[in-house]
Structure 1
Amino acid sequence: MPMLPDWPTYLGAPQTRGRLRSVPEDFEVEEQFDVEFSLDGEFDWLWVEKRGNNTEYVARRIADLAGVSLKAVTYSGLKDRHALTRQWFCVHLPGKQGRDWDGITEVSGDSFWRVERWGRHRQKLRPGSHRANRFVIRLREVVGDRDDIDRRLKMLCAGYPNYFGEQRFGHDGANIEQCRAWFEGESKPQRFQRSIYLSSARSYLFNEVLALRLQAGTWLSPLEGELYSLRDSGSVFAAEPDEGIAKRIAEGDIHPSGPLFGKVARHSVTAEVDALEQSVFAAHKTLCDGLLRHGMKMERRSLRVIPKELCWQWLSDDQLQLQFSLPSGCFATALVREFINA
């Protein structure tokens, strides 16, 4: 039985159905990241296209080929395994001239990864450095009301709930189950797994808060004690919930924010928002206590995300293609679940 809750949607449960990721090419993701190489330094940056491999696996193979430890290889974001993706990797090679990465390709069955271009740089690639991801998504075997899909997509151009996608939580929410077992002393995960579990726990708590506000009709309503997130920047600020704030929310300039749980930060929610979030934390005490023990610090994430340049076209009677960009860390699957059961 799936462990994850069926978190509510903004537009109500869609009645149409379709297939997502029939093949990896149905889900294309490309990092939006402008790089100007210094042509010297200690770092090789590699632009990699991959299919059927996760980011961690490719990082390990790059480390092997470069003759360095996995710690010497970095990337900005994790990309889906069941997709066709393009992203940057970085290899630290101090005191070396780098290696020739031209033509590096590895194929295993239907999976592959290859270096499409590369360059030398003085700067290290750090997590979360890319500004956005560009998506091309194809849905097959679509059955239902095409007019309803078009209506929903037009509404989603103005934004949708910024849920973490189900892939963050593992198959049927297994990451959350394993995280609880770890926090309760029933297991001892490896280092890489620990970071995944910590991230999954914070994402789960955020989704719970967002779901509660969505059900209450306050996810886009300014409440007392709110911290607001600036569109695209992630910076937060406090302000009284007046007409000016409501207008900026309506225009998409700012969004109410939700918690990425951890130790209380310098800027904190108060009053009505604090009471609401504390009710969620109290219901998931095991996760919260574990996150505090492992040194997590409270951060904020916008409750809404607005896709850029969202457009769509019907390739045939039962195939729909979408194109859009999202800020890094936001999930395309959270958009898809608003207009179709896939």
Structure 2
Amino acid sequence: MMPSPYPLEKDLGMRYYASDSPGIGGRLRSSPEDFVVEELPLPISDPNGPYLICRLTKKNWELQQAVKEIAKHLGISHRRIAWAGTKDKNAVTTQFISIYDVTPEAVGLVRIKDILLEVVGRSQHPLSLGDLAGNRFDIVIRDCNPEELAKRVQAATEAVSAGVPNYYGLQRFGVVRPVTHIVGEEILKGNYEGAVVTYIGRTYPLETETAQRARRNFAETRDARAALADLPIQMTYERAMANHLVANPGDYAGALRVLPPKLLSLLVSAFQSYLFNCALSSRIDAGFSLTEPEVGDRLLFANGREDIVSSRNRQAALMQIRRGRCRIALFIPGSEPMASHGPMDEIMQDLMEKSGITAEDFERASRFVETKFAGTLRAISLSADVQADISGESVRLRFTLPPGHYATTVCREFMKADPYVMI
């Protein structure tokens, strides 16, 4: 496997590519139309339910902002809108949302630029994260390196078909400001002031100098009133937090709670994602395979069943993996006690100890955020049958992924490029 040379990927635990072949370079998202995502829904449960299920197609909209705008046009709280998956901003995306207690006629009157809402049915229950069959992607990578382009595309296609590290992608941590996991870690430690200062005050180079200056000033002074005057108007979450601190000096816990509940929970779960990336890279450091099990490895089957690899069943497990019936998985810790079965569990426990985070911290964060952060399994490899077409110096990739998997994880294996050209 080839190490990534990019500091940002290393900081996020994404330290390896599956193949040693050179990448095609290029740039993602030259326009939103170059990154098309179509959510594949699960069956709608009940035509008489109180939740209206709508197909949302949007271009160049961040999901939370799109939901707030839809709610404003409907005259309802944005908390009455739920969704199954968070989609990219700089893209054309089609997904499904549930809206509580609204009529199809009201939805039909919504007119928002680059947003289309279509009623498709009703349900007894709101959508929640993961309530989808998968996502279909149609992506164009432009300005690729023309040298042996077909050969490089073929090598990456074969690598993705065999299996690449199933990292959480850059957008999981924040595209322009990959800061969510750092804020989440501070929340887990109960350091709410640190979480707020990081969220508002941490700077990254892709922001404007005006934004960076406002962030630096807040980080140095903790002056919420000055921050409210300095922060650009489009920074709605940062401004809402600063506004709370102006009215309630020192109430950093309250400032965090002005964030939408889903966003607040995503901050904590982003730290879990970071732990997974780091543990997966540590597995590769140790020379272990993505597809050949070690004694003590956890297995995750397609139907959700779990198992542990032993010396007795190791060959049978290998056969099941090769037949595509299960994958090696890592346990991501949460508020529940973690049993250790093998070297990967020991690696994860060591990461937890180094960070100073315990199961009790996740339990406290669960109460603070009002979301349960249980431990979960995630497969360590991602594979897909990619249809790749070359046109001049552009490469078009079409593929489908299960829920919770990142198209950029596939794209980075093809590109092997600076992550900042992928946003």
Task: Give the TM-score taking structure 2 as reference length.
Answer: 0.72
Equivalent residue letter for 1:101: V
Match of 2:381 among 279, 304, 313: 304
Equivalent residue letter for 1:198: V
Which has the larger share of strand? 1
Structure 2 Cα separation of the partners of residues 122 and 6 of structure 1: 40
Instruction: State the partner residue of 1:70.
Output: 78
Match of 1:99 among 98, 105, 125: 105
* 2:70–2:110 CA contact under 8 A, matched in 1: no
Deviation, 1:254, is: 1.2
Q: Deviations over 1:226-263 (max 9, x none)?
A: 220113x4432224252111122233321111122213
Instruction: State the partner residue of 2:274.
Output: 204
In the alignment, is residue 317 of structure 1 matched against residue 392 of structure 2? yes
Q: What SS class does the counterpart of residue 85 from structure 1 fall into?
A: strand
Residues 287 and 268 of structure 1: CA distance in aligned 2, closer, same or farther (over 3 Å):
closer
Which moves more between the two structures, 202-211 or 2-11?
Answer: 2-11
Structure 2 Cα separation of the partners of residues 287 and 136 of structure 1: 41
Structure 2 Cα separation of the partners of residues 205 and 5 of structure 1: 8
Match of 1:176 among 177, 181, 201: 181
Instruction: State the partner residue of 1:30.
Output: 38
Q: What SS class does the counterpart of residue 108 from structure 2 fall into?
A: coil
Instruction: State the partner residue of 2:166.
Output: 162
Structure 1 Cα separation of the partners of residues 55 and 37 of structure 2: 13
Match of 2:139 among 127, 130, 137: 137
Q: Percent identity?
A: 23
Structure 1 Cα separation of the partners of residues 339 and 117 of structure 2: 44
Q: Deviations over 1:89-116 (max 9, x none)?
A: 11110xx655343363311xxxx11114
Q: Deviations over 1:124-143 (max 9, x none)?
A: 32321101000011000001
Q: What SS class does the counterpart of residue 404 from structure 2 fall into?
A: coil
* 2:161–2:386 CA contact under 8 A, matched in 1: yes
Structure 1 Cα separation of the partners of residues 105 and 274 of structure 2: 41
Q: What SS class does the counterpart of residue 337 from structure 1 fall into?
A: helix
Structure 2 Cα separation of the partners of residues 5 and 45 of structure 1: 37
Q: What SS class does the counterpart of residue 208 from structure 1 fall into?
A: helix
Deviation, 1:280, is: 2.1
Residues 254 and 124 of structure 1: CA distance in aligned 2, closer, same or farther (over 3 Å):
same
Q: How does 1:1-342 map to 2 (within 5 A)?
A: 2=8, 3-12=11-20, 14-36=22-44, 38-93=46-101, 97-102=103-108, 104-107=110-113, 112-143=114-145, 144-146=147-149, 147-170=151-174, 171-182=176-187, 183=189, 184-185=191-192, 186=194, 187=196, 188=252, 189-190=256-257, 191-192=259-260, 193-218=263-288, 219-231=290-302, 233-241=303-311, 242-264=314-336, 268-286=339-357, 290-295=361-366, 296-307=373-384, 309-314=385-390, 316-340=391-415, 341=417, 342=421
* 2:82–2:127 CA contact under 8 A, matched in 1: yes
Structure 2 Cα separation of the partners of residues 45 and 324 of structure 1: 26
Which has the larger share of helix? 2
Deviation, 1:66, is: 2.9
Deviation, 1:5, is: 4.5
* 1:38–1:121 CA contact under 8 A, matched in 2: yes
Structure 1 Cα separation of the partners of residues 394 and 166 of structure 2: 26
Equivalent residue letter for 1:16: I
Residues 136 and 273 of structure 1: CA distance in aligned 2, closer, same or farther (over 3 Å):
same
Task: Give the TM-score taking structure 1 as reference length.
Answer: 0.88
Deviation, 1:45, is: 1.1
Deviation, 1:30, is: 0.8
Extract unaligned runs of 5+ from structure 2: 1-6, 197-251, 367-372
* 1:12–1:338 CA contact under 8 A, matched in 2: no
* 2:185–2:268 CA contact under 8 A, matched in 1: no
Structure 2 Cα separation of the partners of residues 15 and 119 of structure 1: 44
Extract unaligned runs of 5+ from structure 1: none
* 1:26–1:139 CA contact under 8 A, matched in 2: yes
Residues 268 and 252 of structure 1: CA distance in aligned 2, closer, same or farther (over 3 Å):
farther
Deviation, 1:58, is: 2.0
Alpha carbon RMSD of aligned pairs, Å?
A: 2.4
* 1:98–1:120 CA contact under 8 A, matched in 2: no
Q: What SS class does the counterpart of residue 280 from structure 1 fall into?
A: helix
Residues 271 and 260 of structure 1: CA distance in aligned 2, closer, same or farther (over 3 Å):
closer
Q: What SS class does the counterpart of residue 106 from structure 1 fall into?
A: coil
